[in-house]
Structures are given as C-alpha cells and as structure tokens.
Amino acid sequence: MPPLLKVEGLSKSFPMRGLGPMLDRMRGRRTDVRAVDGVSFDIAPGETLGLVGESGCGKSTVARCLLRLVEPTSGSVRLDDTEVTRLNGSALQRLRHGMQMVFQDPTAALNPRLSVRRMVEEPLRLHTTLGPSERRARVDDVLVAVGLGPDFAARYAHELSGGQKQRVNIARAIVTDPRFVVLDEPTSALDVSLRSRIILLLEALRENRGLSYLFISHDIATVKYLAHRVAVMYLGAIVEQAETRELFANPLHPYTRALLSAVPIPDPDARRERFALAGEVPSPVDIPAGCRLRGRCPLAQPICAQPVPLREAAPGHWVACHLVGKG
Amino acid sequence: MTDAATALPLPAQRRGPLAAMWRRLRRNPVTLGALGVIVVLTVVAVLAPVVAPFDPEATDPAIALSAPTWQNLLGTDVYGRDQLSRLIHAARLDLIIPFASTAAALVIGALIGALSGYRGGWVDQVIMRMVEAVLAFPAFVLAMGLTAALGNSIGNIILTLAITQVPIYIRLIRGEMLRVREMEYAEAARTVGNPSWRIVVVHLLPNCIPPLIVQATLAMGFALLTMAALSFLGLGIRPPDAEWGEMTAEGASHMVTGEWWLFVFPGLVIMATVLAFNLIGDGLRDLLDPRMRGVR
C-alpha cells in the first residue's frame, strides 16, 4: 500500500540574529539553530506513527512543518500525491481539509470569545459549500462522536473542563473528515485520569473514520498503546525507527535504551537494565559531527565521529548507530 | 469536574460576562455615579429642545447679563440668552464630537495597529516610526495646528481630534496583537485554514477589546477637553453655536466686571463631564482587568 504521508529530508533551521552571531558567521562558524535536521518517515493509511523524544528535540517543529505552520528550510512532504511544501495561497488552505492538528494545551487552543459551535463549524464554513442547517447537523454529529453531545455547542471554553476542551479540539480537527491528523502531545496537559479516556477516544476515531495519526509524545506508555510504529528523535534527527513491539522489546540505539530505561515501572520487584547518558543535551546550534549522541554515550568509540546514516538493522527496524551489529 | 460523556445540564440561568460585570459595578459607587452623570447628560442632550426652558438663540436685551434668577436659573449672557438652555443645547455638540472622533480613531487605529502587530517586520517598523513622529508633537499643539490649517468646521474638528488620538490606539492594539498572535488559538485558527484577515478580524481582534474600551473612555474625556480648549482659543466651534469651551471663553471676558455665572457654570460642566469620563475609564479598567483589582 502506498504511504499516505511521505516525509523526506525535512529540515528546519532558525537563523540567529544579533552582533555576536554575525561575527561568528564571518569567522565561518555555523550560527543557525538546527531544530530539525533531515528527518524522513512515512505513514500508511490508517496507521499511527509515534514520535518520541525529550522536550526541545524538534518533535513539535516537525509537526508544524508538516502543516506549514512553520516553513521548512528544505525537504519534501507529500500527502497522497500533493507536494505540501510547494502549496501556497488557496491550495494551501485546501490542504487543511485533509490534514489537521490537535494541540497540546486544550485551553490555549480554544478562542475564549467563540462558542463551541462557532469553533467546530469554522472548518466547514471555510472548506465546504454546506448550508447552515447541514453544518449544524455535522457539528452535532461530530460532537456526539467525540463524546460530548449537541448540548455543548452553545458553551464557551471557560465553561468546559480540561477533558471536555480537548474533546472540542478533537472535534474541530476531524469535522472535515481529514485523512491525516497530527496529535501534538494531546494528553500531556490533562490529568492522568483523563488521559486514558482521550487515548481510547482517539483510537476509536481512527478505526471508525480511517484516520492516520502522527502521535507526538514524551509519554512512552501512551505511545506504546496507540502507535503502530515508533520513531525516536534526538537533537533534530530520527535515531531509531521500528514497529512498536519490536522497538520496546529490542531497542538498539543507546539513546532509545536510555529513554526506555528512564520510564518508571509500577512494580517494586522489577529488575532491568539501567542505562544512563552523561551530561546534558548539547545546544542545537553546535550539533556534534558524526553521531549526535557521541559526547554523552557510554559506548562511544572513535568511529562515532563519522557520519552515521539510518540503516536497516533488522527488517523494518532502522537505527543510526555505528556500533549496532558489531558486538 | 466530570469529563465529557456525562453531559452536565446547563444551569437554568446562565451568567454571562455582562451580568458578572454588572454585579461588580454595583459594588463600585464612584464608577456607577460617573456612569449616571454621563447617562443623564446624554438624555438631556438628546431631549434638548424639550428640556431646555428657552430657545438658546433667543436674545432679549431687557434681561442681558442678568444674574441667576428664578426665571433664568443660571443667568443670561450679553445678548440676554438663557445660559441654562445654551448649556443644555451645547451638550449635543460636546458629546457627539468627542464620541465621533474617538470612534473614528478607534476603528482606524485598531485596523492599522492590528496590521502592524500581526504582520511585524518592515510594515511594523514603518508604521511605528510614523506613530512616533505624530506623538513627538504635544497633542494639543498638534490639534491647534491642524484646526488652524484645515479650518474649524465640525467635520474638521472631529478629524483633528481623531488624528491626535489614532497613534495611541495603534500602539495599544499592536501591543495586544503581539500578545494574542502567539496564543495557541491563533495557530489553531491557521491550522483550520483561515486566511490571515479572518484570523485577525474574527479570532484575534475580539480578544484585544478590553483595554481598548478603557482607553476609549479615557480618551472621550481628553477629546472633550481638547475641543473645549480649542473653542476657548477661538479655533473650535464658532460663536452662534453653543459649546461649553466657547461659552467659558466668552464668560472669561466678563471675569473682571463680576458676571461670575458666565464662566463658572460652563467651566463646572466641562469639569464634571471630563471627570466622569475619567472615572468611568478607571472603573472599567478595574472591572475588565482582574490583575488591577485591589491595587488602588
């Protein structure tokens, strides 16, 4: 099956302004912040790709580049057969019909001065020729689908609880029946007790409506539940990518191993590998040459200074590490 | 709070933001009193021909320069015109001109400020430098210069007052825009496919309104004062029409001869009205901005 979304070599760098960086540039040093540096992945119809990594590793920038909320510096994003990075004007607005996003903070993402109906209806108003009564019916339907019901249409954001707000955000994202939805940490601002219900809702919507998700999170447990495949990001690049089960059973990249070993296990008797990295994440202004993890990795070897591409270590299991498969 | 699925029934009577504001307003007698002053003045201005005891233009040499009597409660001027009736009729100009100029400045300032704040970059730079150029002149000197250059018709006075106010609104809205354009709901509006103008007009501007209302109310007082001062100097409303500033000016020439009622009453009316606008502005600021509550 051809992928629904295909991302190749996506990069985004932010130039630094001011006198200091200008002098550095004259001395031939790199002074841009490379937030995303050559990211590639694809997502099949109906599939959920999990994107995990620490805060600041570029996950959200990837999401914003896909939707063109941020202009990528280079690379290609194809949805079906449309090159998203080249769209502009009304064609870009039509793209929003097929590609949507659910934001992290459900409160900040809702306009305090618009009713739920106005907000959920807006995509229909902008992208369809439906009349007022048809739009009304669609909004009522989608509110039911996200577990709220038509009664909520007249409310304003401040009259809703956190979970209800996130349901409204989800309703707004799926009202035009998009094929692809980016979920940017949709549960991290919610109480733990609400998370599982939102996750179950997202999973049910995916099945019923044939959606594909890019699920961004730093919550390993929810990724494990929701994602079919997982990509691990570190410092702007994907370092490992595999089927979810394979990745959790057999993490190959040292960064992935460190990430997984940091997840608490709710069992006092559980024993497992402790794998810790040294130091802090380096600044994305000066990313180490070769392997990005080189300075922090307990296994680092001289060869790690060489550039390291993603290679297929096992069928469907891609990893960017020189040491994998060499004992 | 319970989550979604179990839909809570809405309270039978929903308290809108207006109702909440009214409750807080009732606990603030100063603002309420100032609001009362403006409401009474507006009613009087609208009903001027009914309320005024005499025709404001009718002269009667027999009672010229009469001190307040039971017939002419606030006395008469050189031509024997009833001062109370003139003050009542003047309220029309003295309310409508500040209101029209403030409204014009508000709309124009909001649009330019929104453009400046939302677009940023060189557009913002150019607009801000122009705003600074206008603000470099003291507002009253600028108003004097403009009326002197344009001529003092009512339309020109409105225009002048609007021009002196516009930069303030541009700055205010620009600042608010810089704040709200970074909100996630602005990004959400873009994600949903709104064109830029719709993001600004439908999603962002309504969220900038509270400080705008405060500024506009304060500006009404300032505009009234500026207009009265212009008239006082002979650059504003011209004599046959009644206007408080112009009446004060005429009264001032009688100060040495002892006809005190001619300058005291118009002056008092101006003072009371400007004070009322300022008090409402202050009160609104407290009402609309929770951070300001309890500061004073």
How far apart CA B274 and CA B222 sit, in angstroms, is: 7
| A297 pLDDT higher than 60 | yes
Q: What is the pLDDT of residues B227-241, one digit of tens each?
A: 888 888 878 777 777
A150 touches chain B (CB under 8 A): no
Q: Which of B1, B10, B206 sits opposite A161 (nearest CB)?
A: B1
Looking at the complex, report in whole angstroms how far the Cα of residue B101 sits from the nearest Cα belonging to chain A: 28
Q: Which of A97, A111, A172 sits opposite B203 (nearest CB)?
A: A111
Chain A residues 178-197 with a CB less than 8 Å from chain B:
194, 197
Beta bridge partner(s), residue A34: A13
Q: Residue A49: which pLDDT band, with cuts at 50, 70 and 90?
A: very high
Chain A residues 268-287 with a CB less than 8 Å from chain B:
none
Q: What is the pLDDT of residues A179-205, one digit of tens each?
A: 899 999 888 888 888 888 889 999 999
Interface contact flag, A104 B193, Cβ < 8 Å: no
Interface contact flag, B193 A103, Cβ < 8 Å: no
Interface contact flag, B2 A161, Cβ < 8 Å: yes
Q: What is the pLDDT of residues B170-195, one digit of tens each?
A: 999 998 888 888 888 888 888 888 88
Q: Residue A48: which pLDDT band, with cuts at 50, 70 and 90?
A: very high
Angle between helical axes of B209-232 and B83-119 (0-180°, round to 10): 130
| A33 pLDDT higher than 70 | yes
pLDDT at A272: 64
> Is pLDDT larger for residue B291 or for residue A50?
A50
Q: Residue B15: which pLDDT band, with cuts at 50, 70 and 90?
A: low
Q: Closest chain B residue to A165 measured between Cα atoms? A: B4
DSSP conformation class of A305? G
Interface contact flag, A172 B192, Cβ < 8 Å: yes
| B89 pLDDT higher than 70 | yes
| B100 pLDDT higher than 50 | yes
Question: pLDDT over 70 for what percent of chain A?
Answer: 97
| A133 pLDDT higher than 60 | yes
pLDDT at A213: 92
**What is the identity of the amino acid at A188?**
S
Structure tokens at B123: 């557009």
Q: Residue A280: which pLDDT band, with cuts at 50, 70 and 90?
A: confident
Interface contact flag, A111 B185, Cβ < 8 Å: yes
Interface contact flag, B7 A113, Cβ < 8 Å: no
Q: Which residues of B touch A126 (CB under 8 A)?
A: 192-194
Q: What is the pLDDT of residues A210-267, one digit of tens each?
A: 899 999 988 888 888 899 999 999 888 888 999 998 888 888 888 888 888 887 777 7
| B7 pLDDT higher than 50 | no
b/e map B38-59, b = 16+ CB within 10 Å: beebeebbeebeeebebebeee
Interface contact flag, A149 B7, Cβ < 8 Å: yes
Please give the backbone phi and psi of residue A217, each rounded to the nearest 5 degrees, phi first: -165, 155
| B6 pLDDT higher than 60 | no
Interface contact flag, A100 B4, Cβ < 8 Å: no
Q: Closest chain B residue to A144 measured between Cα atoms? A: B5
Interface contact flag, A194 B183, Cβ < 8 Å: no
Interface contact flag, B192 A148, Cβ < 8 Å: no
Q: What is the pLDDT of residues A140-159, one digit of tens each?
A: 999 999 888 888 888 888 88
Structure tokens at A52: 């995990």
pLDDT at B13: 45
- Taking Cα atoms as reference points, which of B49, B51, B54, B48 lies closest to residue B82? B54
Interface contact flag, B192 A149, Cβ < 8 Å: no
Q: Residue B292: which pLDDT band, with cuts at 50, 70 and 90?
A: very low
pLDDT at A273: 64
Q: CB B14: neighbour CB atoms within 10 A?
A: 11
Q: Residue B10: which pLDDT band, with cuts at 50, 70 and 90?
A: very low
A136 touches chain B (CB under 8 A): no
Q: Closest chain B residue to A167 measured between Cα atoms? A: B4
Q: What is the pLDDT of residues B190-211, one digit of tens each?
A: 888 888 888 888 888 888 888 8
pLDDT at B248: 82
Average pLDDT over residues A261-286: 74
Q: Which residues of B touch A147 (CB under 8 A)?
A: 4-5
Q: Which of A69, A100, A194 sits opposite B187 (nearest CB)?
A: A69
Q: Which residues of B touch A111 (CB under 8 A)?
A: 185, 188-189, 203, 207
Chain A residues 207-266 with a CB less than 8 Å from chain B:
none
* CB contact set of A303 (below 8 Å; sequence gap of 6+): A322, A323
Sheet order of strands, A212-217 included: A99-102, A180-184, A212-217, A48-52, A229-234, A237-243, A317-319, A311-314
Q: Which residues of A touch B2 (CB under 8 A)?
A: 161
Sign of CA dihedral A268, A273, A278, A283: negative
**What is the identity of the amino acid at B166?**
V
pLDDT at B25: 75
pLDDT at B294: 44
Q: Output the 3-class SS for chain B.
A: CCCCCCCCCCCCCCCCHHHHHHHHHHCCHHHHHHHHHHHHHHHHHHCHHHHCCCCCCCCCHHHCCCCCCCCCCCCECCCCCEHHHHHHHHHHHHHHHHHHHHHHHHHHHHHHHHHHHHHCHHHHHHHHHHHHHHHCCCHHHHHHHHHHHHCCCHHHHHHHHHHHHHHHHHHHHHHHHHHHCCCHHHHHHHHCCCCHHHHHHHHHHHHHHHHHHHHHHHHHHHHHHHHHHHHHCCCCCCCCCCCHHHHHHHHHCCCCCCCCHHHHHHHHHHHHHHHHHHHHHHHHHHHHCHHHCCCC
pLDDT at B201: 86
Site from A111, A170, A214 to mutate, B interface, most B CB atoms within 10 angstroms: A111
Sign of CA dihedral B60, B63, B68, B69: negative
pTM tops 0.80, yes or no: no
Q: Which of A112, A122, A197 sits opposite B192 (nearest CB)?
A: A122
| A314 pLDDT higher than 80 | yes
How far apart CA A172 and CA A195 sit, in angstroms, is: 19
Structure tokens at B17: 């933001």
Q: Which of B1, B3, B188 sits opposite A197 (nearest CB)?
A: B3
Looking at the complex, report in whole angstroms how far the Cα of residue A150 sits from the nearest Cα belonging to chain B: 10
Please give the backbone phi and psi of residue A101, each rounded to the nearest 5 degrees, phi first: -145, 140
Q: Which residues of B touch A146 (CB under 8 A)?
A: 4
Looking at the complex, report in whole angstroms how far the Cα of residue A136 sits from the nearest Cα belonging to chain B: 18
The secondary structure of A123-163 as a DSSP string is: HHHHH----HHHHHHHHHHHHHHTT--GGGGG-BGGGS-HH
